Structure 1
Amino acid sequence: MSVGRDRPASSPTVADVAQAAGVSFATAARALGGYGHVSAKAQAVVEAAASELEYRRNDVARALASGSTRSVGLVVGDIENPFFATVSRGIADVLEPEGYTLLLANSDEDPAREARAIEALRTQVDGLLVAPAASSGADRTRDPGKPLVLLDRTVTGLGVDSVTVENAAGAARAVEHLIAGEHRRIGLMTSRAGSSSTAQRVRGYRAALKRAGLAADPAWEAVTPGFAAADARDAALDLLGVAKRRRVTAVFTTDNFMTHGVWLAARELGLSVPGDLAIAAFDDVDWLTLVDPPVTAVVQPVMELGREAGRLLLRRLADPTAPVRRVRLATELVVRASSG
């Protein structure tokens, strides 16, 4: 079959393909759309005609007709963060086999930017997965008008599906491990970002100290304005650059950027790990096992976090009236040489 000389001047339509293939419009539409019954012979003829005409499916028109885009929006805090890269892969592993395309947006941990991303995506997708930058705020409970699943963090007052990890309990285990190593001046490296996961890890740190009869000294808590290793380094230099008799002997960090900053500061100040400073981190990333000594860490099931978020969204898409589910995954403390 050769239809090149009859090729339409404008973009070819389903009708053009049907005419070139010598089949009805309905048969061509079913073959090109992947629905209904089409014989193997008709499918082959239609596909050959479509290829010859360089037909491209109009997904926008298809979405308007069907009410479905087969796309899902994902809004994360920082696409440079290895944590979110792994989460995204877990989500894709679940959604792509079901025929969904993942559209990614970066909020840069800014609630206003997050809101703009959600607004831009909501008309293009069937559902949304969001790692919210803040856990509270007057505009945080606004319904995006689409099935929504929160991942890694939650929002106060927003009754939607979510998947998180046991942040407070995991943090407490790490601090209890440091206490068991005879540390009594245990510092905290965290960010001022308003995410629920960070707040829960701080609560876990303070709760562990309280249970051990240790006061949580505000001078031991270094807080950065956001998630950035450079800011964490500066804050850690202030925390660690004091006289030895006043300096903390151990530090718990609430995420991998805080850990990076503490490591840089300790090296810059000439502090040996764990001799001068023990370190226990929340969030395990590859580099923690590549440095000497390797860093003790609370390990999150990051891939499973993404997969579970994907499964929750598929469930919500299939049944918008299903009861809300809030899944919390377990963490594991992996002890390495940095904590002595």
Structure 2
Amino acid sequence: MSTGRERAASSPTVADVAKAAGVSFATAARALGGYGHVSAKARAAVEAAGAELGYRRNDVARALASGSTRSVGLVVGDIENPFFATVSRGVADVLEPEGYTLLLANSDEDPAREARAIEALRTQVDGLLIAPAASAGAARTQDPGKPLVLLDRSVNGLEADCVTVENAAGATRAVEHLVERGHRRIGIVTSGAGSSSTAQRIRGYRGALKAAGLEIDPAWEAVTPEFTPTGARDAALRLLGAPKRRRVTAVFATDNFMTHGVWLAARELGLKVPDELAVVAFDDIDWLTLVDPQVTAVVQPVMELGREAGRLLLRRLAEPGAKVRRVRLGTELVVRASSG
């Protein structure tokens, strides 16, 4: 049978550390938990005693005592999407050096699933970063009860810190480029306009056509309800399978999954890019420069998007009453061979 002394030796408590350091229990608890005021001398004594005894901090107890979990929740649309992988890396680059652990959840672009993820995370984290699935917002997105930063997308009527890119301007520039190349029948392949970023890119596409005096034909807008390359392929096949005299000569794809689908459909239909079909993508990912021809793309600063979101959340955690900030990052059109 083990004795109390043996248990203390194998699993030292705060009281054991306090006794060894010659300080009060409260002082040892503050020093070990990283909260409250502790003199440098007392902290050094507690840390030395803790190291000698092999003390391991109880993070649950620390959270209860300090009111902080040192964790941040990140809810994204699809963890398989390279865009969100890079965004997450940017967020982690900012938060982890500050001692925060990142807890990642996947919404699958479903507002109901997003709401469940937020509900599960909100009791475990100090703050939330959310790429909302819909601009209308899920109920819990509207009032998560935690410091909140919206990432890549906004929510109508929600006063929250937000970092996005120039979606409409980037899409406009992409279509203007196609017009400059002589195209008059320019289509779009997109997911539904549930998210603010997609809605803004569709608006930029239509605005550019209108400014050029070109027809805005609903038949040239291929929309998929599925935010997947397969769904985009099916939508692109419908668009590109039209009779040649009415078929679009150029396509603007609103994100990397849509570009993937357009590429699959063009290959399946035997359309030569750019001779028979010009392609411009929104969002630049690795494979766009690995195919032949390389794909013209609107490049957004994805890593910086994540980093700026992390910085906004750190500011909100430090200053809960600070004025809401909305940051919009620029984009750049990189012209390659796919647009002729």
How has the CA–CA distance of structure 1 residues 6 and 48 changed in structure 2, closer, same or farther, with 3 Å as cutoff? same
In the alignment, the residues of structure 1 paired with residue 283 and residue 338 of structure 2 have an alpha-carbon distance, to the nearest angstrom, of 15
- Note if 1:92 corresponds to 2:92: yes
- For residues 1-340 of structure 1, the aligned pairs below 5 Å read 6-8=6-8, 12-19=12-19, 24-26=24-26, 28-34=28-34, 36-39=38-41, 40=44, 42-49=46-53, 51=54, 55-136=55-136, 139=139, 142-192=142-192, 194-340=194-340
Contact conserved, 1:31 with 1:38, CA < 8 A, in 2? no
Paired with 1:234 and 1:222, the residues of 2 have a C-alpha distance of 9
**Offset at 1:22?**
6.3
Alignment TM-score, normalising by the size of structure 1: 0.93
Distance (Å, rounded) in 1 between the aligned partners of 2:145 and 2:27: 35
Letter in 2 for 1:47: A
Tell me: CA distance 1:58–1:140, structure 2 relative to 1, closer, same or farther (3 Å): closer
Do the aligned partners of 2:135 and 2:154 also contact (CA within 8 Å) in 1? yes
* Aligned residue type for 1:96: E
User: SS at the partner of 1:7?
Assistant: helix
- Give yes or no for contact 1:141–1:157 (8 Å, CA) kept in 2: no
Write out the 4+ residue segments of structure 1 that deviate beyond 2 Å after TM superposition.
3-13, 16-46, 137-142
Q: Structure 2 unaligned segments of length 5 or more: list them.
A: none
TM-aligned CA distance change 1:143 to 1:41, over 3 Å: closer
Residue 276 of structure 1 aligns to which amino acid in structure 2? E
Deviations 1:254-312 (A, max 9, x none): 00000000000111111111001000000111100111111000000111111111111
Which digits, 9 at most, give the CA deviation of each residue in 1:184-223, with x for residues without a partner?
Answer: 0001000115000000000000000000000111111100
Q: Secondary structure at the match of 1:150?
A: strand
1:31 and 1:141 map into 2 onto residues whose CA distance is 36
Contact 1:190 1:198 in 2 (8 A): yes
Is the CA contact 2:118–2:141 (under 8 Å) kept in the aligned structure 1?
no
The alignment's TM-score, normalised by the length of structure 2, stands at 0.93
TM-superposition CA deviations, 1:14-34 (whole Å, max 9, x none): 113444666653454344334
Q: Which consecutive unaligned segments of at least 5 residues does structure 1 have?
A: none
The answer to whether the 8 A contact 2:119-2:140 is kept is no
**Higher deviation after alignment, 36-45 or 305-314:** 36-45
Tell me the distance in 2 between the aligned counterparts of 1:113 and 1:75: 10
Q: Name the Cα RMSD after superposition.
A: 2.1
Query: Contact (CA 8 Å) 1:32, 1:47: kept in 2 or not?
Result: no
One-letter amino acid of the counterpart of residue 39, structure 2: H
CA offset at residue 44 of structure 1?
2.4
Deviations 1:110-156 (A, max 9, x none): 00000011111111111110000000157376311111110100010
**Farther off after superposition, 192-201 or 140-149:** 140-149
Contact 1:94 1:311 in 2 (8 A): yes
Shift of 1:42: 5.0
Contact 2:225 2:231 in 1 (8 A): yes
